[in-house]
Amino acid sequence: MIDSSIAYRKCMAGNVANSGGSHTQHALRGEFTGEPFAGANEIKRFITANITPDSRSRIFRWSQKNFVDRFPMGRVIPKSPMPWESFGRMNDVELKAIDAYLETLKSVKTKERVK
């Protein structure tokens, strides 16, 4: 049986994938300073994407299939610090859980940061 609970989805997105840690702005000491999953975090001179359901989010118009199909493709943006190899090993159920959880988040508009 597939666990489709909100708790499972939240665990996959926040703990297993650590999407919240990477896609939430934080201070040098680690405390979060931005809205969860709203991007604008700088990692190795790379600004993370807003992955909330905001209309300006990079993934806003993606279907669940687009989301699931993207991860096995691996790194397509040069120097992206995202651990694509790990995500590429996730199965469809795990990726669908992450996508479903991201859809439940508050839509957050963030300022575009250019590096």
Phi and psi for 32 in degrees, rounded to 5?
-70, 135
pLDDT tens digit string along 70-92? 999 999 988 888 888 888 889 99
Check: CB of residue 15 under 8 Å from CB of residue 101: no
How high is the pLDDT of residue 78? 85
Asked if 59 and 51 count as a contact pair (C-beta separation under 8 A), the reply is yes
Contacts of 108 (CB under 8 A, 6+ apart): 35, 36, 37, 38, 50, 52, 54
The dihedrals phi and psi of 26, each to the nearest 5 degrees, come to: -145, 160
Q: What is the pLDDT of residues 6-41, one digit of tens each?
A: 888 888 887 777 787 778 887 777 788 888 888 887
Sign of CA dihedral 69, 71, 72, 77: positive
Mean pLDDT of the 102-112 span = 87
- What is the reported pTM? 0.74
Other CB atoms within 10 A of residue 52 CB: 24
